[in-house]
Amino acid sequence: MKITAGGVVAAEWTKFSSLRSTWITTGVSVVLLIAFGAIASASFSGDNLSAVDLALSGSIMAALTVGVLGALLGASEYTTGMIRATLAAVPRRLPVLWSKSLVAGLAAAVVMTAGAFAAFAVSSALLNDKVGSLALADDGVLRALVGAGLYLGLVAILGVALGMLVRSSAGAIAILAGLLLIVPGLAALLPDKMADTITPYLPSNAGSAVMALTHGEGTLAPWTGLAVFAGYVVVALVAAAYRLKKTDA
């Protein structure tokens, strides 16, 4: 029987949607995004953050969670040995990677975009009186909320790529956490001039630029930042594709 691209995608969606851990992890991602935004909005009393910044303050934790989701999808079959059956059914191999990436990325983008809008709605209702409220029609608000979903969708794809590259859920999650959390902290230890040059181009800083309502000097423009982050994702996918094609399962 001929294996079609749609068939491979359907198979990966079945695997993805049939696991209880998928729904738990996805639900936790949304809860974290909304909960952190609500807490930040209710308690913040300064004047250096916008209502959107506060609403999306849980995006870091949400990114880690959807990244874990992607890593599990990418690496779990190597852990169980089921990858051999998958590759026997899809001997060209690469459609497996593309399909896993599409399923994880699209699911995360849709769910987390909805989560971003929910976080904004909840946070707007809880804003401290000292923080000005915003409406969806205000400049940059829709871009930030939709951008949050796109960024988190790309994080899920990065998780898949890392999972299939290192073939270990724990290893992929560790690398992902290092890229999103540890590397920015290490960059802050560099001399000021060097740190100012490098920091905007780090994965998490570049990707999250699309969620910021305002941008200061030395930060990337919203869509430029997302494009830079997408570049990191493409590099990871290419590396995963090379290993998948050239080495045994």
Q: Quick one: the chain helix, strand, coil %, rounded to 5? A: 80, 0, 20
Q: Quote the pLDDT of residue 58.
A: 93
CA distance 175 to 44: 32
DSSP string covering 180-221: IIIHHHHHTTS-HHHHHHHGGGSHHHHHHGGG-SS--TTS--
Per-residue pLDDT, 94: 94
Q: pLDDT for 33-45, tens place per residue?
A: 999 999 988 887 7
Instruction: Say if residues 187 and 195 touch (Cβ distance below 8 Å).
Output: yes
Lowest mean pLDDT among 32-41, 108-117, 235-244: 32-41
* Sequence-distant (≥ 6) Cβ neighbours of residue 60 within 8 angstroms: 180, 181, 204, 208
pLDDT tens per residue across span 56-77: 999 999 999 999 999 999 999 9
The parent domain of residue 85 ranges over 5-246
Q: Give me the number of domains the chain comprises.
A: 1
